[in-house]
Amino acid sequence: MDIQSPAIALSGVQKHYGEFALHDIDLVVPTGQIMGLVGVNGAGKSTLLRLLVGLIRADDGAVAVLGQRLPEAQVAVKRDIGYASDDMRLYRGQTLRWHMDFVARIYPGWDEAYAQTLLARFDLRPQQKLAGFSHGQRVKALLLLIFARHPRLLLLDEPTTGLDPIARGEVLDALAEVLRDEERSVLFSSHNTADIEQLADAITFLHRGGIVASRDKESFLDSWRRILCRGPAIGPLDAIAGIASVRESPPLIEIKTGAFDEGLLQRLKAQGLEVTAVEPMTLEDIFVTTVRGGTSR
């Protein structure tokens, strides 16, 4: 296996389901990167992750994981991938210990000491049957079974959805610890932008089956600003390059931009506007503005 290759490389990927199409997907996740995949319900996040784990096949385009093409190398890469999603069913009639032994027999990289650490951290009882686990406990059990194998690539579909704030904090802390290993790459999806903002190095916005933006987190946060001005403007503001949205309630004007620089402020002033505040934006606000404005990367 080629360790110089990116962890994930998608090129021209298409997948059609009736009215829905995951389309023109070009995405590279370098080794060691933590990529957050953000999208509303039905955007295509799970479909993208299922393609990467070989559960479904692309209609067109190239899918490579850990330097190997799918679906040809699916069996070979599977042991190096940890995939967590609602698709994964644990056996309700068996205990967590039974599951741990089962996984340990299949994966030689099983780390029992780390599994014990995670049992304590997640406050899970190994002798309890899965049928008695709450939703949050089941999620934590699944992540334990994956993390203790030390897979090189983690594909996590909404790992924190449906968790209470305490369980969510535990899962995020364990993820942050797992992610400290620089050789490990991660793609995790969420509609909770706060989780993505906390953990990810890079962020991809998926909307209606297409990638609308994909950049490293810092440059996302650096380039977006909410600018408050006092008008009126001399000419139409939407025509100014770099403006993603304009909301007017005269004489106040709120502008959002994904291409913030001094030049933009000068252009606004040239329109007769007085700039009264320039504020950073949250990832959530950036996401909503990008999706509503249809801004392309």
Ligand X SMILES: Nc1ncnc2c1ncn2[C@@H]1O[C@H](COP(=O)(O)OP(=O)(O)OP(=O)(O)O)[C@@H](O)[C@H]1O
Residue from 3, 11, 12, 17 binding ligand X (CB under 6 A): 17
Tokens, residue 159 = 């790992």
Q: Which is nearer to ligand X, 36 or 39 (CB)?
A: 39
Q: Which is nearer to ligand X, 43 or 273 (CB)?
A: 43
The residue assigned the tokens 């996590």 is 156
Is 20 a residue that touches ligand X (CB under 6 A)? yes
Dist CA 279 CA 221 (whole Å):
11
Q: Which is nearer to ligand X, 8 or 243 (CB)?
A: 8
Q: Which is nearer to ligand X, 45 or 99 (CB)?
A: 45
Q: Which is nearer to ligand X, 39 or 159 (CB)?
A: 39
In the complex, the smallest distance separating the C-beta of residue 20 from ligand X, rounded to whole angstroms, is 4
In the complex, the smallest distance separating the C-beta of residue 17 from ligand X, rounded to whole angstroms, is 3
Is 47 a residue that touches ligand X (CB under 6 A)? yes
Query: What value, to the nearest 5°, has the Cα angle with vertex 205 and ends 199 and 210?
Result: 145
Is 102 a residue that touches ligand X (CB under 6 A)? no
Is 212 a residue that touches ligand X (CB under 6 A)? no
CA nearest to 88, candidates 151, 32, 130? 130
Dist CA 129 CA 140 (whole Å):
14
Dist CA 22 CA 209 (whole Å):
4
Is 39 a residue that touches ligand X (CB under 6 A)? yes
Instruction: Using alpha carbons, list the distances in angstroms from residue 250 to 103, 231, 241, 247.
Output: 63, 7, 22, 9
Task: Give bridge partners of residue 206 from the DSSP assignment.
Answer: 211
Q: Which is nearer to ligand X, 80 or 159 (CB)?
A: 159
Is 42 a residue that touches ligand X (CB under 6 A)? yes
DSSP, collapsed to helix, strand or coil, labels residue 119 as: helix
In the complex, the smallest distance separating the C-beta of residue 245 from ligand X, rounded to whole angstroms, is 23
In the complex, the smallest distance separating the C-beta of residue 196 from ligand X, rounded to whole angstroms, is 13
Distance of CA 125 to the CA centre of its chain: 30
DSSP, collapsed to helix, strand or coil, labels residue 156 as: strand
Q: Which is nearer to ligand X, 43 or 175 (CB)?
A: 43
Is 41 a residue that touches ligand X (CB under 6 A)? yes
Touching ligand X, residues 182-201 (CB under 6 A): 191
Burial 88-117 (b: 16+ CB within 10 A, else e): eebeeeebbebbbeebbeebeebeeebbeb
Q: Which is nearer to ligand X, 21 or 103 (CB)?
A: 21
135-147 helix and 96-106 helix, angle to the nearest 10 degrees: 20
* Segment lying near ligand X (by CB under 6 A), choices 42-50, 106-114, 172-180, 210-218: 42-50
Residue from 23, 45, 149, 207 binding ligand X (CB under 6 A): 45
Instruction: Using alpha carbons, list the distances in angstroms from residue 18 to 22, 43, 129.
Output: 11, 14, 40
DSSP, collapsed to helix, strand or coil, labels residue 288 as: helix
Residue from 44, 136, 151, 159 binding ligand X (CB under 6 A): 44
Site residues (vs ligand X, CB under 6 A): 17, 20, 39, 41-47, 191
